[in-house]
Amino acid sequence: MPNRNMKKSNVKDTIYSLADETFHGKVTGAYNGLQWADELLERYTSIFDFAKAIISILDLDELLIKITGVITRITSSKGCLIRLYENGELKIKYYKGLPSGMIHILNNKTGRIISEYVLAKGYSLLIEDTSLLPDGLPSQLNVIRLFSRSILCVPLKLDFEVIGTIELFDKEYPYDSFTISDTLTAEGLAVFASLSIDKSRIYQKEKIQEMKAVRAKTKLEAVFNSVTAAIITIDRDYKVTSLNNHMNNWSNLSSLIGRDYIDVFSLEDSIPIHEAVKSTFATGKINTVTFVNDGRYAELTSYPIFEHKEIIECIILIRDVTESKLHEKKIIMLYNEVTESKERLESLVNDSADAIITTNIDGVITSWNMSAERIYGFTKDEALGQIFPILPYTEPDRDLIKYLLDGDTFKDIEVLSKRKNGDIIHTSLTMSPMRNSIREINGISIIVRDITRRKKIEHELLKSNLEGARLYEQVSLAENELKNIFESISDLVYIVDNDYNIQKVNRAVCNLVGLEMDGIVGKKCYEVFHNIDTVWEKCLHKKTLDNKRSYISEAERFYYKGEETFGMSSSPILDRDGNVKGTVNIVRDITELKKLTAQLASFEKMAMLGEVAAGMAHSIRNPLVSIGGFAKRLNQKLEPPYCEYAGIIQAETSRLEELLRKTLGFVHSVKSSMTTIDLNTLIATLIHITMKDLNADIAIEGEISSEKIDIMGYTPRIKVAVSNIIKNAVQSIDKKGRIKIKTYKQEGFAVIEIEDSGIGLKKDAVKHIFDPFYTTKPDGTGLGLAIAHKIIMEHSGSIDVISEQGTGTVVIIKIPLKIDNEDINS
């Protein structure tokens, strides 16, 4: 019998020992043989049936329902509860015939005592009668006592491992207690139940794994088809084993699986791809190649798939990289363009006859072109990093540099410099500040022109004689004037490609054409400049393209809207391989230059005439003097009427002499000192004198400047020059008309404008108007304007004639203003 003096605190031990006693007491109970055999047969039959019923059930839940159902039936139990041992504790998996309040108790610590006992011991526990349990048990167990009178708990065992328990509560009618026989039956059933549960669990596990596998597969497939790249897998025989939708973009074939993968790509050159894949199979490395298919750029990457360290398949991933490639190409193109334009600029700089040098703000040379090498004798390598000028001849002007850094530009500063070999050279410098992108001055650009030769010529001319110097003065004056004109009218510079498309123009071109750069660049040069739809007959660009060399020429009406004469130069732009890529064209309006050249030519003519005149004078004047001289003597000695005849000879001779004097007068100059001439007074006097001799039909009006205009000159000669022109103006007026004479100052010159409303001149006549003996009048000598021209030239001035037939003529005389001492001092 159970020991009733047990300690309250050790409930677990108490019930365990109690159970041991109960169980063993029953086992040791006496059975007769037949009853045992009947029972045994019945038991095995029911176990066999049970095994049959549950063995095919794979689903655990279904199995547990079945087990519970069969066990309660066979053992005639009212309630049944199955626990399975999972993750270190017994968990209720299924129950039947038990009120929920009891389940709650059975699931807590106290309620688990019986099953934990069975789990720990590994054998069954039979409590035949709960009322026999000792007092002082926890209240929950007391509750069990209320619910159930007899409890049988058997272990679910696999070999020696307990995987759970089956608890049976109370027998159905005849309300008996569970017996040893029930225990053995339940234990037998439990063996099969355990096996089935284990089998079901394995099945369950596999089912989960299968589900996981299926899910993974689905997921993979989704990924496979949703990535924007095309994917194919190939086996070691290079046959396609799978592919995704995007492969459609790369292949026209409808069914690809099983085919040779190279057939998938309809490529001219599939070798790089094959090499990549082959290498992946051989080395297990990931390879990437790029190829072009149907104008699209593709990047192909091959990945190995290992199985047991063997490469069994290869995954090929193909991405369309056209966009990024095109972007890349664009960048390369842009880069090339930048490089080209840089080279073009460099070649422009190098081809320039002028040295182009840049320095930083400290004067350290940062670039040095070919002409700089030529002028100074230093190579680029020698020059870079040196302070400019490398061999100073005179101390550089510090102020100049200061002004440059303040943003000023200096033009045509003439300085002496030393070459590398020590030679002294004359140079003309144009210096201007350079700015970076944020408009800060970061250096100085220097354009150097070697003017040594010009200076030498100047020097020699000065030495030779005064006449020569004067001539030189005229030339250099003309040259200066020319320079001024060039400076005021910038040259047209433009670049044309091989297809006659204009690629670049300067501001001067825009000004000429009257369009912004955008409106010119890209158009054909012959459209823009000549307004024709085919190549211009005088096109230098064409000649340059054809013969790969530079050309220079002149043409009238280069620009279709104007009459101007243009000097044109065209030079080829070569690429690295020496092919012509286009031309640089420089076009300048040389109309003014032509005019000045013409003036010089007329001057030369005059000088020649001087020599002729000297000879003529000798051979005509000598006889005239004799004739006239002796006639005078005869006049004195003879009687009338013969003395009168001699007088006639004398008078006629002096007329001839006068003509001769006039003819020769303009070819020599009178050496006397120049004086200050008040031009306004002189002109006013001339107007007054002219007016006295004019009839009322010709009006003469003066518009004399209110400013005082002083020039240096020979008063009588200036008078002659101006009055000759006024006389000409008067003669050009047929009957009625007017003459307007204006004086004013303009850019260092005194200007006299004589405008008439006369018959005007033909275009051809304007060209020759200053030629000696050229006349449009039947009784003219052709000397008046030639003399005027010579006199104005003597005064370092100029005469221009603007004339239109039927409208009149304007003669514009310019003479340099007198430079005041005050001006010099300031």
Partner 1 sequence: MKILIVDDDPHIRTLYKEELIDEGYEVVLANSGKEALELFEKESFDLVTLDILMPGMDGIEVLRKMKEKNPTLPVIMSTAYDYRDDFSVWASEAYVVKSADLDELKGTIKKLLNK
Query: What does the binding site for partner 1 look like in residue numbers (CB under 8 A)?
Result: 466-467, 613-614, 617-618, 620-633, 650, 653-654, 657, 661, 664, 668-671
Q: Are 338 and 258 in contact (CB under 8 A)?
A: no
8 A C-beta contact, residue 745 and residue 709: yes
**Residue 225 or residue 622: which is nearer to partner 1 going by CB?**
622
Closer residue to partner 1 in complex, CB, 52/661: 661
Write out the two tokens for 537.
């007959």
Q: How far is the CB of 617 from partner 1 (least distance, A)?
A: 4
Q: How far is the CB of 780 from partner 1 (least distance, A)?
A: 24
Least separation in angstroms between residue 629's CB and partner 1 is 4
Radius of gyration in angstroms for the set of CA atoms belonging to the chain, rounded to a whole number: 63
* Beta-carbon count within 10 A of 463 CB: 9
Least spacing, CB of residue 727 vs partner 1, in Å: 24
CB nearer partner 1, residue 213 or residue 659:
659
Least distance CB 656 / partner 1 (angstroms)? 9
Q: Which residue's CB is nearer to partner 1, number 394 or number 669?
A: 669
Q: How far apart are the first and last CA of the chain?
A: 146
Nearer to partner 1, 224 or 630 (CB): 630
- Min dist. Cβ of residue 648 to partner 1 (A): 13
- CB 630 to partner 1: min, Å: 6
Q: Which two tokens stand for residue 263?
A: 């057939």
- Using the minimum distance from each CB to partner 1, give the nearer residue, 622 or 807: 622
The three-state (H, E, C) secondary structure of 603-647, written as one string: HHHHHHHHHHHHHHHHHHHHHHHHHHHHHHHHHHHCCCCHHHHHH
299 half-sphere exposure, CB direction, 13 A CA radius: 12
Cβ–Cβ under 8 Å, residues 434 and 363: no
Q: Which is nearer to partner 1, 377 or 628 (CB)?
A: 628
Half-sphere exposure of 128 (CA within 13 A, CB side): 14
- Name the phi and psi angles at 367, rounded to 5: -150, 155
Cβ proximity to partner 1: between 47 and 606 the closer is 606
Residue 698 three-state SS: strand
Residue number with CB closer to partner 1 (605 or 632)? 632
Q: Which residues are CB-neighbours of 328 under 8 A, at least 6 positions away?
A: none
CB contact at 8 A, 427 and 389: no
- Single-letter residue type at 296: R
Minimum distance from residue 717 beta carbon to partner 1 (Å): 14
Residue 367 CA to residue 763 CA, distance in Å, equals 51
CA distance 698 to 688: 14
Q: Residues 106, 130: contact at Cβ < 8 Å? A: no
Adjacency order of strands within the sheet including 230-235: 240-243, 230-235, 310-320, 296-307, 287-293
**Length in residues, the chain:** 826
Residue number, 467 or 487, with CB nearest to partner 1: 467
Indicate the helix (H) or strand (E) that contains 658. Answer: helix 642-665
* Residue 293 vs 653, nearer CB to partner 1: 653
CB of 345 vs partner 1, minimal distance in Å: 54
User: For residues 400 and 656, which CB has a smaller minimum distance to partner 1 in the complex?
Assistant: 656
> Distances in Å between the alpha carbon of 470 and those of 482, 596, 797, 811?
18, 16, 13, 25
Minimum distance of partner 1 from residue 556's CB (angstroms): 40
Q: How far is 804 from 759, CA to CA, in rounded Å?
A: 8
Angle at 479 between CA 475 and CA 482, to 5 degrees: 140
Chain centroid, CA 285 distance in Å: 39
Smaller CB distance to partner 1: residue 572 or 713?
713
Q: What share of the chain is helix, strand, coil (3-state, %, to 5)?
A: 45, 25, 25
Q: What's the token pair of residue 297?
A: 């750029």
CB of 634 to partner 1, least distance (A): 11
- Please report how close the Cβ of residue 659 comes to partner 1 at its closest, in angstroms: 13
* Shortest distance in whole angstroms from residue 644 CB to partner 1: 17
* Nearest-approach distance from CB 729 to partner 1, in angstroms: 30
Backbone angles phi, psi at 631, to 5 degrees: -60, -40
Residues 6+ apart with CB under 8 A from 93: 60, 64, 82, 83, 84, 164
What span, in angstroms and rounded, lies between the C-alpha atoms of 135 and 486?
132
Structural contact between residues 594 and 566, judged by C-beta atoms closer than 8 angstroms: no
For partner 1, give the closer residue by CB, 532 or 648. Answer: 648
CB of 653 to partner 1, least distance (A): 5
Identify which of residues 233 and 663 has a Cβ nearer to partner 1 in the complex. 663
**CB nearer partner 1, residue 229 or residue 674:** 674
Q: Shortest gap between Cβ of 721 and partner 1 (angstroms)? A: 18
- Residues with Cβ within 8 Å of residue 414, at least 6 apart in sequence: 426, 427, 428, 429, 451
Nearer to partner 1, 438 or 670 (CB): 670
Cα 158 to Cα 194: distance, rounded to the nearest angstrom: 6
Three-state SS annotation for 248-278: HHCCCCCCCCCCEHHHHCCCCCCHHHHHHHH
The answer to whether residues 167 and 114 touch, using CB atoms and an 8 Å cutoff, is yes
In the bound state with partner 1, the residue whose beta carbon lies nearer, of 34 and 670, is 670
309: helix, strand or coil: coil
Exposed / middle / buried, residue 656 (Cβ in 10 Å: 0-12, 13-18, 19+): middle
**What span, in angstroms and rounded, lies between the C-alpha atoms of 513 and 520?**
8
Do the Cβ atoms of 442 and 436 come closer than 8 Å? yes
We find the least distance from the C-beta atom of residue 651 to partner 1, in angstroms, to be 10
CB of 815 to partner 1, least distance (A): 21
783, 772 contact by CB (below 8 A): yes
